């Protein structure tokens, strides 16, 4: 961890070299080994230039006589073990919870500062400071990268799962970049979650619940955007495009999470996501979702969850009750707040609904959101 910035620079430079050479000469027969070998050679060159190389590092290094191959174990098991070790290393309790998550997203998942800021609903400067402090703290503590022990899992599992949860969320609804759905982020989160499920120490009820949540959401990927990349809202999605296999996998993992005596937020959110895989618009469905939101807010209150609850409240009880609850939140910096109120007022006061939607369009940060809101405004204007 002492030389983490150097490692990041070497990795970036390695991929830049790959982009340049592979574009001209084609992808090598074994691209993974090529990347490892080039990165290793760049590291060796850096160390040779470093004034500490001869005194403190060189005596401990033994290089093979030829550079035609790689002396690094590239087996699936070795890579999985090293990734698992790195996940638990960056989620160290010596730094704050927010900084741990930011560092994991940055180092393990490739998030830029802006993407992390979007995931935390904060600004770039705050995230930059968190990352800097976290790296400095890990260096001061001389933290070693090692496989997780039972104690490490007990102390850090919640942070690890939250990191994967945020990674998936950034992919499922991204406000950074030009596309609202980044499938590669979601797939990376699911891959890392499967990695946790493959280890006896990290195969926990909460891990299963998180995997179920991801599967349920991922099952609607193909229905969430149209051919132009525009978002399609839940109620307008073509349910024939929902992936039934992923729904079944979600049910499997949700059932697998039903043991032990601890109820996590992932259990409750997976339950909500499960009910959203039912296309029928029944009162039973929305009452179940409402009750799950009630439990979620008691377990861990967030303004966004409270806002989502009001939509279920409108479906299960009444629009008037939902409006009263939504307006109490006063989330005036969140365009979803105005979109939801616009939806609720559409039947009661169309003019007020249009005013709310115009405000939502001003507050929205992504072009895809502004396009979707404009479409809603146009639909209201067409109605008599």
159-190 pLDDT, tens digit each: 889 988 988 887 787 655 555 567 777 888 89
SS (H, E, C) the chain: CCCHHHHHHHHHHHHHHHHHHHHHHCCCCCHHHHHHHHHHHHHHHHHHHCCCHHHHHHHHCCCCCCCCCCCCCCCHHHHHHHHHHHHHHHCCCCCCHHHHHHHHHHHCCCCCHHHHHHHHCCCHHHHHHHHHHHHHHHHHCCCCCCCCCHHHHHHHHHHHHHHHHHHHHHHHCCCCCCCCCCHHHHHHHHHHHHHHHCCCCCCCHHHHHHHHHHHHHHCCHHHHECCCCCECCHHHCCHHHCCHHHHHHHHHHHHHCCCCCCCCHHHHHHHHHHHCCCCCCCHHHHHHHHHHHHHHHHHCCCHHHHHHHHHHHHHHCCHHHHHHHHHHHCCCCCHHHHHHHHHHHCCCCHHHHHHHHHHHHHHCCCHHHHHHHHHHHHHHHHCC
**Tens of pLDDT, residues 199-249:** 899 999 999 999 999 999 999 988 888 877 777 888 888 999 999 999 999
Question: Exposed (0-12), middle (13-18) or buried (19+): which is 62, by Cβ within 10 Å?
Answer: exposed
Confidence tier at 70 by pLDDT (50, 70, 90) = very low
Comparison of pLDDT for 66 and 82, the residue scoring more: 82
As a whole number, mean pLDDT of residues 308-336 equals 94
CA Rg, the chain, in Å? Answer: 24
> Sign of dihedral through CA atoms 150, 152, 156, 161?
negative
Of 180, 186, 163, give the one whose Cα is nearest residue 116: 163
pLDDT of residue 166: 84
Q: Is the pLDDT of residue 376 over 80?
A: yes
Residue-wise pLDDT for 4-53, tens only, equals 788 889 999 999 999 999 999 999 999 988 998 999 899 888 877 776 66
Please say whether the beta carbons of 370 and 350 come within 8 A. Answer: no
Determine the pLDDT at residue 174: 61
Model confidence over 111-157: pLDDT tens digits? 888 888 876 778 899 999 999 988 888 888 888 888 888 988 888 89
Residue ranges covered by each domain of the chain: 4-60, 204-223+239-279
Q: What is the pLDDT of residues 250-295, one digit of tens each?
A: 999 999 999 989 899 999 999 999 999 998 889 999 999 999 999 9
Q: Say yes or no to pLDDT of 373 above 50.
A: yes
pLDDT at res. 226: 80
* pLDDT value for 69: 46
Taking the CB of residue 98, how many other CB atoms lie within 10 A of it?
17
How would residue 316 be classed by pLDDT, with cut points 50, 70 and 90? very high
| Residue pointed to by tokens 């303004």 | 303
**The pLDDT of residue 68:** 42
The CA–CA distances, whole Å, from 45 to 39, 40, 48, 56, 58 equal 10, 9, 5, 15, 12
Q: What is the mean pLDDT of the chain?
A: 86
Is-contact 290 313, C-beta < 8 A?
A: yes
């Amino acid at each position: 961890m002492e030389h983490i910035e150097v490692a990041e620079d070497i990795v970036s430079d390695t991929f830049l070299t790959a982009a340049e050479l592979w574009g001209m000469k084609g992808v090598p027969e074994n691209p993974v080994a090529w990347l490892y070998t080039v990165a290793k050679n760049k590291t060796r060159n850096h160390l040779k230039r470093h004034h500490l190389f001869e005194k403190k590092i060189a005596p401990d290094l033994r290089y093979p006589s030829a550079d035609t191959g790689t002396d690094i174990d590239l087996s699936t098991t070795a890579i999985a073990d090293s990734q698992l070790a790195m996940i638990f290393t960056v989620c160290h309790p010596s730094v704050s919870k927010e900084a741990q998550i930011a560092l994991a997203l940055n180092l393990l998942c490739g998030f830029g500062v802006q993407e992390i800021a979007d995931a935390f609903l904060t600004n770039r400067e705050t995230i930059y400071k968190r990352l800097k402090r976290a790296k400095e703290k890990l260096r001061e503590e001389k933290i070693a990268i090692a496989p997780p022990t039972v104690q490490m899992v007990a102390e850090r599992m919640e942070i690890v799962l939250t990191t994967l949860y945020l990674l998936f969320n950034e992919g499922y609804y991204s406000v950074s970049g030009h596309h609202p759905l980044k499938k590669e982020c979601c797939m990376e989160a699911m891959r890392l979650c499967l990695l946790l499920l493959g280890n006896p120490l990290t195969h926990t009820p909460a891990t299963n619940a998180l995997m179920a949540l991801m599967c349920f959401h991922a099952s609607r990927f193909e229905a969430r955007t149209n051919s132009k990349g525009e978002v399609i809202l839940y109620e307008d999605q073509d349910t024939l495009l929902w992936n039934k296999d992923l729904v079944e996998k979600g049910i499997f993992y949700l059932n697998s999470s039903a043991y032990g005596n601890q109820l996590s937020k992932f259990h409750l959110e997976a339950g909500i996501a499960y009910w959203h895989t039912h296309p029928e618009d029944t009162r039973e469905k929305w009452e179940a979702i409402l009750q799950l939101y009630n439990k979620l807010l008691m377990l861990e209150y967030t303004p966004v969850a409270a806002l989502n609850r009001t939509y279920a409240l409108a479906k299960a009880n009444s629009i008037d009750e939902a409006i009263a609850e939504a307006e109490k939140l006063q989330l005036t910096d969140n365009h979803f707040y105005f979109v939801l109120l616009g939806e609720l007022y559409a039947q009661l006061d169309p003019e007020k609904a249009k005013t709310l939607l115009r405000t939502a369009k001003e507050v929205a940060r992504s072009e895809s959101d502004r396009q979707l809101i404009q479409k809603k405004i146009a639909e209201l204007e067409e109605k008599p």
